[in-house]
Structure 1
Amino acid sequence: MKTKIFSVLFLSSALFVALNAEAANCNFTRDLGQGSWGEDVRCLQQYLGSSGSGYYGAPYQNYMIPDGFFGPMTTQAVMQWQTTKSLPPTGYFDAASRAKYVEPAGGYGGVGGYYGGNTEEASARQRIDEALRMMEDTRDEIDDSNRNTSSAEDSLEDAEDNMLEAVHEFFVNRDFAEAYNLADDAYRDAEDAFEDAGGDRSSGDKEDAQDAINDAEDAINDAEDEIDDARRRGVSITIIRRAENFLDDAEDRLNDAEDEYDDKNYDDAEDFARDAENLAEDAMDEVN
């Protein structure tokens, strides 16, 4: 049985790695222009420097460093890309550019076109990934369990069978709805097996997680005050934008922490909250 789960994990992981090598999936939720700062800018820069961008090898690509800061070279690279996509070459990555980015490309080559352009496909891929992680956790729990795990073993075997079918539907038949359903069945089978083996998913220390969330909230509030004060002091708009980008990332991490806390995943909640606190401190460092 262990041979089967290792085969499932290896096959699925290898296929996902191969596809991700073809296309980095960026998530753009705001307009980007000169002076913008953040991981979304870095992802845009990496995309513009990839073969999937449609203008790989253009002059400005050769000098653009994916450092997360939207500077003159990135502006020129965006203008070049916009020209290849029949967009006005403004150098500003706006709503029209985001729409063109996620436009289905009809194959593996288009970043966003392969995963980002098909919600059903992206949902199936995410559920397969979640099920694989649950299966790995379940196998570890069964191996460490001191109780009779025959029922858990049976449920995990059902999960493995469903996962093999899900992978087949996803990569061979391209039936993403069926792939999602099968992956969801695999997840639930693995979850049942995890509990049968004595696993407790409400891991971590609840009090530590709550303390970390409170600290992150305080840091974010302090960062907001510092940024407002920086505006009054006439700090440059470029610095303000960098700080605001850090603050946006901090708020996103805090939301993740609160979601994990609600799901009783206290270790993950604490980690996300600490990340949020650090990002808020980075925002304050920018304006001080």
Structure 2
Amino acid sequence: MQKYLQFSYIFIYTLISIVLLSLYGCKDVKNASFNKDKPSKDYIYGEGSGVNFDLAKQYALQDLATNLQVSIRYSTQQNIAQHNNTLQTSGISNTLLESKIKDIPSVEVEKTTKKDNRVSVRVRVSKEVLEGSIRNRIIHAQNDLQTILQTCNQVSFSQYKKFKTKLSGLKEDIALYQALTKNMSYGNAMILDFQNMISTYPSYALRWKLNGLYNYQNDIQAIITTELSKFIKINPQARQTLHIKANNDNPLQFLLQFYDCKNNLENAIQINTHASKNDMLQGSKKSRLGAIIYKALNDMY
């Protein structure tokens, strides 16, 4: 009986040991499988699912943008905590980030699965590749802005909006690059220099030639100057000049010619009021001329 009990204990102990070993082995297999699929710290990932591949990939890119936004905010907050600086977060929206990521050709579809008529996609982008792509965009934008400034070291009327839009994109890319590289001072001096170039509207000295409109010159100059001041800074000492000519008085037409600091014609605006001077410049009708001038300038702007 004692031998039987001893054998039973040995059998039970052996059985328990086998079960524990098998469980331990399963745990190792599970961990190995998890580690094999574990995201790399060198990449930023995004996952999405949908009824087809394209939709799933779209959601994955949105998720990647969200993860990137979290990374940016974390990096910015860490920098503030470490250096006690009053820095603002990048303020880049997820939609904008998604757009910027789509422009990067190295976004990979790392994994695709299909189950129950649902497609799941995981995308990733290398942090190093992302940084390099953003840096290249920064260099390209910087060159574009410097090209605009190279003639007179100032922004012209026709280039002002383009310069401002390009600078806005450059600011976003620099904010993104700063957060990715944790170098929050990168590009700040450059941005400040470019920003100073558009701190005021482009400056122009006005040159008038209103032949045949002597009785209306004061009114015309007042109306046109008012509308011009919404787009340019009028300065008699400016190196850039704007020539304003009356081409015809029936219908009343104007030609606005913008010259750079080297007296090169940059662009011109032909304005046709489709009305005679007497009709356009009588009483309350004068406001129509202001509206026509404004629209012509805004269309060119």
What TM-score results when the alignment is normalised by the length of structure 1?
0.21
The higher-RCO structure (CA 8 Å, 6+ apart) is 1
Structure number with larger C-alpha Rg: 2
- Higher helix content, 1 or 2: 1
Structure with the largest fraction of strand = 2
